[in-house]
């Protein structure tokens, strides 16, 4: 394989894929992923993707996002995300993405917690799979993209404060890959948690690497706990029960089968309310009930969720389903501007890996896919304008000292220690549970 590229993209979720598709097709691009190309958290997204349904909804969408984020959001980032939403939806549909439609053929919108309006587009309850799979198909058609699966980034290579490539491991071989530009789209930190909706291989590698290379992080302790995952004693990734189930009318019940919270409050509020009930009853879970809802509605909107619950022994039509909060999303990350630029020259961060302040302290439901696509496209636009002016002067180093297993353990400790240092209360409440 060639070791010199124009751009290296680390990660094949929505942000990484979209960045690759938005870059000029005459650039030589390397894309690597730690697992298989489809094994990204973007692929798992159920509820949908927010959009600006009409110009009249701008202010409400803006305020909903700020309110959910406890007003710690970067207002500029929020405005850009909302303004760009309709164009992103058009881009997706041009790539073949299909969203659900009503009986008259118009786009169908749903609502989730903390949304004041129905503004979320969806494809049944597998929206992430629909979007990501169509982006993967488009990437596979790009002759300028070299895709390597089962490849782990072990470090970045920098010359002063300028990135010049990465060190990666693939099939036991550690190699140096050089590039004018590196885009980090490696997701969040879910694999570090016992209970998480994330794939287990998503362990925050980029954040440990950033700390070791003096790249600025921001709000790494701003970690979202999702209120409702299917309770199980089995090890592995927690199965998410989309917030849109509550958005369309489901109830949360304590062990006495009583409602105890407004199900449409922001995720952090609902998660804390559930934890309080679990502690009060000394219970490992609470319950989610759709028994009062129209069964046809459930089968039409949430067939994947219904099937998964049935496979676990729960018929949602006949009984409440046990649910428990689990780690879901990272609002913080590598500090970036609204074009994905980080504190290191020619190094970009997009998607969950980046922190441009759009989510504040708590992400509004279904803003993740939109945010990933908007700012990945903006990063690609800047790279298109500047890459020909970058002097390509690779710095060659000895890679023999890199030990993947040792580094993975070291990186996990670095990140968890940083989370604990930033927010010991959060660490004690959720990281040990």
**DSSP designation for 124:** T
Contact 431, 420 (CB under 8 A): yes
Q: Which letter, b or e, does each residue of 202-216 get, where b requires 16 or more Cβ atoms within 10 Å of its Cβ?
A: bbbbbbbbbbebebe
Phi, psi at 196, each rounded to 5°: -150, 150
Phi and psi based region of residue 272 (left: phi greater than 0; alpha: psi -120 to 50; beta: remaining): alpha
Residue whose C-alpha is closest to residue 49's, from 103, 16, 93, 94: 93
What is the token pair recorded at 108? 């169908």
Catalytic annotation on 267? yes
Q: Which helix (H) or strand (E) holds 415?
A: helix 404-422
DSSP helix/strand/coil, 347: strand
Residue whose C-alpha is closest to residue 379's, from 344, 329, 337: 337
Marked catalytic residue, from 119, 267, 363, 378: 267
Phi and psi based region of residue 262 (left: phi greater than 0; alpha: psi -120 to 50; beta: remaining): beta
Instruction: Output the CA–CA distances (angstroms, integers) from residue 234 to 16, 117, 194, 200, 231, in the order listed.
Output: 31, 37, 11, 14, 9
Q: How far is 411 from 262, CA to CA, in rounded Å? A: 39
How many Cβ atoms are within 10 Å of 383's Cβ, its own excluded? Answer: 25
What is the token pair recorded at 290? 């759709």
Alpha carbon 119 to its chain centroid, in Å, reads: 19
Residues taking part in catalysis: 267
């Amino acid at each position: 394989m060639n070791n010199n590229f124009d751009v290296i993209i680390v990660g094949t979720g929505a942000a990484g894929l979209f960045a690759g598709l938005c870059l000029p097709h005459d650039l030589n691009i390397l894309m690597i992923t730690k697992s298989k190309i489809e094994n990204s958290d973007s692929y798992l997204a159920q509820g949908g993707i927010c959009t600006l349904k009409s110009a009249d909804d701008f202010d409400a969408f803006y305020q909903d996002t700020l309110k959910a984020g406890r007003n710690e959001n970067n207002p500029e980032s929020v405005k850009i995300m909302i303004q760009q939403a309709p164009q992103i939806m058009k881009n997706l549909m041009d790539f073949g993405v299909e969203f659900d439609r009503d009986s008259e053929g118009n786009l169908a919108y749903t609502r989730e917690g903390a949304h004041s309006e129905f503004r979320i587009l969806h494809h049944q309850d597998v929206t992430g799979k629909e979007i990501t799979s169509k982006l993967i198909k488009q990437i596979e058609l790009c002759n300028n993209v070299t895709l390597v699966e089962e490849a782990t980034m072990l470090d970045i290579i920098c010359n002063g404060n300028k990135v010049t490539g990465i060190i990666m491991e693939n099939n036991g071989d550690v190699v140096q890959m050089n590039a004018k530009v590196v885009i980090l789209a490696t997701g969040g930190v879910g694999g570090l948690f016992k209970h998480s909706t994330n794939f287990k291989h998503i362990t925050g590698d980029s954040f440990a690497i950033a700390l070791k290379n003096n790249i600025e992080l921001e709000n790494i302790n701003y970690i979202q706990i999702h209120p409702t995952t299917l309770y199980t004693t089995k090890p592995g990734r927690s199965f998410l029960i989309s917030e849109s189930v509550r958005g369309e009318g489901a109830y949360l019940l304590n062990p006495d089968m009583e409602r105890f919270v407004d199900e449409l409050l922001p995720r952090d509020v609902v998660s804390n309310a559930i934890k309080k009930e679990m502690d009060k009853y000394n219970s490992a879970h609470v319950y989610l009930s759709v028994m009062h809802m129209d069964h046809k509605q459930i089968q039409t909107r949430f067939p994947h969720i219904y099937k998964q619950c049935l496979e676990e022994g729960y018929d949602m039509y006949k009984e409440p389903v046990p649910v428990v909060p689990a780690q879901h999303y990272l609002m913080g990350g590598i500090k970036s501007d609204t074009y994905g630029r980080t504190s290191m020259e020619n190094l970009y961060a997009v998607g969950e890996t980046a922190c441009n302040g759009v989510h504040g302290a708590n992400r509004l439901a279904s803003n993740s896919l939109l945010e990933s696509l908007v700012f990945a496209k903006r990063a690609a636009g800047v790279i298109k304008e500047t890459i020909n002016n970058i002097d390509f002067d690779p710095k060659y180093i000895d890679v023999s000292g890199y030990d993947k297993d040792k580094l993975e353990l070291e990186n996990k400790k670095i990140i968890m220690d940083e989370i604990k240092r930033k927010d010991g209360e959060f660490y004690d409440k959720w990281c040990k549970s």
